[in-house]
């Protein structure tokens, strides 16, 4: 009970701290017909209702939407790549909120569109900032969010369907870096501004396997990481709470001092 109480108090304190004066930044791409999904998914479908004034004089609107769990700014729950991983509804809230750091590899990604973040990148970040990647939400900035309006530039292909998966080309986190983080550090969650935590050419999805196997939530298609400092931001990443889900739409925001 002491451990549970301590966790609750720590989470409450973090949320209270986030209420202090600062600037809130939305790190979420809006969901609409242009939202980018994996080439094998249909995408976001929005069905507008018969919205407008009613006979009784008040305005009324009610719409419907259909979406895959994985698309747009979204959560990969550990169950996504682990048979025993936590489902969307089972992830402890304290793993989804807290201090965040930004690992900026955008210069390397500009030179190599299929770049994979390495353990050396993470160690270099720690040396430069004088702290370890412990008890933080790690956000990887590749610069790909700036390509969001251009599906071809963002994914590396405009094609859809199963055959298009082999044409994907964008940066990600290497399996070695993912394994290093789960074995040698203790992060709350990890996010990236690309369509997958594994880089586009991946076929074995080793970063997914490593993170999900360690119950580390993953946030994909994160926006506006260029607006965050390397350290000092507080992030709240709250996904749709889907019972038994392997992921879901995510609203992620950050407060900067």
Range of the domain at 221: 2-39+66-256
Q: Is residue 217 part of a domain?
A: yes
Q: Is residue 186 part of a domain?
A: yes
In this model, does residue 121 exceed pLDDT 80?
yes
Structure tokens at 131: 């702290």
Q: Is residue 129 part of a domain?
A: yes
pLDDT in tens, 171-191: 999 999 999 999 999 999 999
Distance CA(32)–CA(135), nearest Å, equals 34
Q: Write the CB contacts of 102 (distance below 8 Å, at least 6 apart in sequence).
A: 139, 140, 141, 225, 228, 229, 230, 231, 233
Quick one: pLDDT band at residue 128, thresholds 50, 70, 90?
Answer: very high
Split into its structural domains, the chain has a count of: 1
pTM for the full model? Answer: 0.91
Distance CA(171)–CA(154), nearest Å, equals 10
CATH of the domain at 208: 3.50.30.50
Q: Across the chain, what does the average pLDDT equal?
A: 94
Q: Is residue 55 part of a domain?
A: no
pLDDT in tens, 17-66: 555 679 999 999 999 999 999 999 999 999 999 999 999 999 999 999 99
Distance CA(108)–CA(26), nearest Å, equals 25
């Amino acid at each position: 009970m002491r451990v549970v109480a301590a966790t609750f108090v720590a989470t409450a304190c973090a949320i209270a701290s986030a209420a202090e004066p600062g600037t809130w930044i939305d790190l979420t791409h809006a969901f609409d017909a242009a939202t980018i999904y994996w080439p094998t998914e249909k995408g976001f479908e929005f069905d507008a209702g018969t919205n407008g004034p009613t006979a009784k004089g008040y305005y009324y609107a009610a719409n419907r939407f259909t979406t895959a769990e994985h698309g747009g700014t979204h959560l990969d729950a550990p169950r996504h790549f682990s048979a025993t991983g936590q489902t969307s509804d089972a992830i402890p809230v304290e793993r989804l909120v807290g201090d965040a750091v930004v690992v900026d590899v955008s210069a390397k990604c500009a030179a190599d569109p299929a770049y994979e973040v390495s353990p050396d990148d993470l160690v270099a970040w720690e040396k430069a900032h004088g702290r370890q990647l412990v008890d933080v939400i790690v956000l990887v900035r590749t610069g790909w969010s700036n390509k969001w309006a251009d599906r071809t530039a963002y994914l590396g292909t405009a094609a859809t369907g199963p055959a298009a998966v082999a044409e994907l080309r964008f940066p990600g986190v290497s399996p070695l870096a993912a394994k290093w983080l789960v074995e040698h550090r203790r992060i709350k969650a990890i996010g990236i501004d690309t369509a997958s935590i594994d880089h586009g050419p991946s076929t074995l999805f080793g970063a997914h396997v490593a993170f999900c196997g360690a119950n580390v939530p993953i946030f994909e298609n994160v926006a506006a990481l260029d607006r965050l400092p390397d350290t000092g931001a507080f992030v709240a990443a709250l996904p749709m709470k889907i019972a038994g889900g392997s992921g879901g739409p995510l609203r992620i925001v950050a407060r900067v001092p």
